[in-house]
Amino acid sequence: MSVSPDLIRATADSYIAALEAGDLDAVMALYADNATVEDPVGGGTVHDGAAAVREFYATVVAMKIDGKVLEARVCGNELLFNFEITTHFDAENSATINVWDHMVHNDEGKVTSMRAFWTPENMR
């Protein structure tokens, strides 16, 4: 592996910052062209390839989001991190969700696979 654990760990902060900024290009810059995204795990949909991943995230970044990384662990080229995001629907309504994301990185530091672990039980 040619990517440092620090670079892989930084993906967590970059990911949350891109979501907060509503920056689709910044989100996509984290991913390899052949990446897959499964969010949530077990939900039945795996977004496969850059076009499908972009389409998925276009709806996510359109929302007003505040986020915070709570914990991040790197093992080899894999990142497991826990975070909370609050989605603001309007001035009075929001929802906070606690998520664990598992990302696998290639030797260039790009994410090749992301799996998000959460259920409605993790929302408040």
> What are the catalytic residues?
15, 39
CA–CA distance, 60 with 26 (Å, rounded to integer):
13
Residues paired with residue 35 on neighbouring β-strands, in sequence order: none
Dist. CA 70–CA 83, nearest whole Å:
5
The dihedrals phi and psi of 68, each to the nearest 5 degrees, come to -155, 125
